[in-house]
Structure formats: C-alpha cells, structure tokens
Amino acid sequence: MTNPRTVLHNVNIFDSINGKIEEDKTIVISKGKIDWVGEASSFEKEQNDTIMDLEGKYALPGLIDCHVHLELRSEHYTNPYQEWATTSPYFAGFRAIKSAEDHIRSGFTTVRDCGGDLWGQSLNRAIAGGLYRGPRVLAAQWPLQQVGSITYDLPMDLNVAFNWLDSQRVLGIAYPTGVDEMILAVRTRRMQGSSFIKVMNTGSVYGLILGSNIEDTFFSAEEMDALANEAHRNGMHVACHSHNDTGINEALDAGIDTIEHASYISEETSKRMAKTDSYLITTYLVGDARHSPEKMKENPGFVELMNEVAKATYENHRVAFEEGVKFALGSDSGPVNAPPGSSAKELVYIVENLGMSPAQALQCATINAARAIKLEDEIGFIEVGKVADIVVVGVNPLESLTSLQELENIEYVLKGGEIVSKRGILQ
C-alpha cells in the first residue's frame, strides 16, 4: 500500500529562488515533505491521495521572521524592558505560547526568537508534541550583554531583577566578561537548549529609558572572536544586535552571521558587508514611532530618538541594498509597535523603505531568511525534498503584499505537511 499523500492541485507557486509566480502547478506532500512538484496536467493520482483543488490560489513557502520576541506582548506593558525585568519565566512562557499561535495563524511557520527566558526548548517540545499550534522556533534565550551596557536608578523590583542578573555572570548566564566567560556563556546556552547565540554589541533604542546609548559599543575584539568561534564550533549561528557603524564592523570582524538593525551602517561598511555571507535583518516595524501608545510617548526624547533612528535606517539601508548587502526579514515583534502576528507588515515596509519589489521582499521572508538562519536545506523554497511548510493565499502576493496582513486571505497554513490553520483559525 502506498503512503497517504496530500495533494495541492491547481495552484500557482511563488518561486522564491527566481522571484516569480509559476502557474498551474501541483504539489504532492508525503511524510511531511514535498514529494513531487510539477505541471497540474502531469499529476497522476494514487489511491490514498487526499486532493485539495485550490482552483488557482497561490502557494508560498512558509514565511520566516528572523527576529521576534515571543514573550513580549504589548497588552501588558508599554516598555518592553520593564515587562521583561518584572515577569516570571513561567508567565513569560505562557505569553510565548500565545505569540507562537499568533505567528502561525498569520502564515509564519518559522520564527527566530532573539532573546527571552529559558522556555525555548520546552516550547518547541510542546508544539512538536501537538499540545499547541505554533511555528518552528529557533530560540536564543538569554542574550549576551556587557556589564555596564546600561545604567539604572530604578524602583526596587527592577533593581532586584538586574542585580540578580549581575550575580549570574559567573555562571555564564548573563553579562560575560573576558574570553573564558564568553566561551562558558556559549556552552551554557547550548546546554540549556538555545538554537543560536544572540549578542548585543551596541546600545539600543528602547534601552534609552534605562540609560542605554546606541552610540556605545560593547565587548572587545577578543571576546567577540571567542563567542563566534565557540558558537560555530558547536554548530550554532550568531545574531548580533548592532546599531552603530563601529559595532557593525566589529561584528563583521568576528564573522557574525546576521546583523540585527544596522541603523547607522555606512556606505563603506555596506560595500564590505556585501562581500561576506552575513545578512542584515530589517526590523523596521518595531521602530515606527507612529504606532507607539501615548504612555510610551511620555518618556522624554524617546519618540524623537525613534524617528531619528528610523529616518537614518531607511536612508542607510537603501544604500546597503544598492551595494548588494543581503537582507532578510525580521520584525522585532513583541514590543508595542510590532505585536505578534503582524510580521507581514514588515514586507510592505521593506518595499516602501528599501525600494525592493514585492518579489524581492517575499524573498527576504523565504529563501533569504532560510539562508540567514542556516536552514536553507530544509525550508524557504518549494521543491522536492524540502519540509512541506506552505502558505496558501487567495490573492497574488506580488500584486498585493498587504493582503498577507488579513487572516481571511491566509487560506491554509501547512507546517510539515499538516494543515495547522485555516483563515486564521487554528486546526
């Protein structure tokens, strides 16, 4: 008896390698992988096939968001750093589950969580075991930060949280100092189930409230080299939060795999980065101050800084794109401006702010993203042998990227060949 197969018949496929629509195709799925792709007219039915006649709808590779924060949800706090520092890991894990559901409903079948508590391994186990619906989650868990990267005079609960983090430094959990502690930090994260390493080598925009300055750079060259070498030796890639040009160059010196934000990347650095295998992760959505709630706008200078950084980012990234830097989609979803499930908006921002075509933007969320996170052998492209992560939509996305923001247009989401969502309703 032949294996049961799921057949997506009469469908138009987005070819993420070449950035075009291939019409009148059929996709055959068996054992969670793509078993056959070809002309609809050439398809030969087998006895145990389940055929879905899609009547000319559009199939995309499962979308990928390379930068999310699942445990941050805007309905709780307006300041993500306050939210993070005053939340138990147990409650954070429950929020991560809800965010995971929001992402999979919107067609994002893989997300990379760039900093959270130690729930990453458990969340994937729960999703894989069928307890919850959610995307494939690559979780960094605790990000690596330098002691003194923020200064604070805070209420007691926040002081307790940060002082506890300081106390964990010697255990390799947070704030490593020196080459040996950096190596220990990587090994500790691997032991705790982290999929990759997240490091912050410059200040941050949201961190303004806690005394962070995006002009600051952190960690020595020796520390960054040790981190990258140890991570790669252990089969883990590295994502580096880096806003200023000095930090970006120091990350490139160390062979970092993805640069997050890169707001102030110079033309010279763009030319250099274009010659490497590193990817720039966009994160435009989170930086749009227009979406900030009124309470957040009460923080002195915050909105002004967001607007200043956003303007510089768009200008610098347009140059970087022209120079050939490789881009992949990341929304930085979780903080207030980018709620979980809104990652498709980043596609529109990429077109508007970089000058990419809709096809190029979709490549940022498919094949480029898969390459950036080292999963191009499994996902990112609809072809035989790939994992059957597929999103079926009713509107040609090259004609309307905004249609991907509406759940009723997300007809089916398949993860590993299984239908997990229909028009925003989890199955």
When pLDDT is cut at 50, 70 and 90, the band that residue 2 belongs to is confident
How confident is the model at residue 172, as a pLDDT? 46
As a whole number of Å, the CA-based R_g of the chain is 21
Overall residue count recorded for the chain in this entry: 427
Which are the contacts of 426, defined by CB distance < 8 A and separation ≥ 6? 101, 104, 105, 133, 420
How confident is the model at residue 299, as a pLDDT? 63
Domains 5-61+380-426 and 63-372 share a fold: no
Please, what's the b/e burial string for 160-187 (b: 16 or more CB within 10 A of its CB; e: otherwise)? eebeebeeeeeebbbbbbebebbbbbbe
How confident is the model at residue 75, as a pLDDT? 60
Across 121-130, 151-160, 201-210, 238-247, least confident range: 151-160
How confident is the model at residue 37, as a pLDDT? 98
DSSP lists the bridge partners of residue 426 as 421
DSSP lists the bridge partners of residue 392 as 59, 412
When pLDDT is cut at 50, 70 and 90, the band that residue 294 belongs to is low
Residue 251, Cβ density class (10 Å: 0-12 exposed, 13-18 middle, ≥19 buried): buried
CATH number of 5-61+380-426: 2.30.40.10
Answer left, alpha or beta for residue 405, where phi above 0 means left and psi between -120 and 50 means alpha.
Answer: alpha
- 84 vs 426, which has greater pLDDT? 426
Q: Whole-model pTM?
A: 0.93
The residue-averaged pLDDT of 42-55 equals: 95
How confident is the model at residue 308, as a pLDDT? 87
Q: How many CA atoms lie within 13 Å of 111's alpha carbon, on the beta-carbon side?
A: 34
How confident is the model at residue 1, as a pLDDT? 58
Sign of CA dihedral 129, 132, 138, 144: negative
When pLDDT is cut at 50, 70 and 90, the band that residue 334 belongs to is confident
How confident is the model at residue 158, as a pLDDT? 56
How confident is the model at residue 274, as a pLDDT? 98
pLDDT in tens, 100-146: 999 999 999 999 999 988 898 899 999 999 999 999 999 998 889 88
Closest CA to 415 of 379, 395, 380, 389: 389
- 301 vs 351, which has greater pLDDT? 351
Domain over 63-372 is classified CATH 3.20.20.140? yes
Domain boundaries, given as residue ranges, for the chain = 5-61+380-426, 63-372
Q: In the structure encoding, which two tokens stand for residue 237, read together?
A: 């890639």
What is the Cα–Cα distance from 334 to 113, expressed in whole angstroms? Answer: 10
pLDDT > 90 fraction of the chain, expressed in percent and rounded: 73
- Among 65-74, 101-110, 187-196, top mean pLDDT goes to 101-110
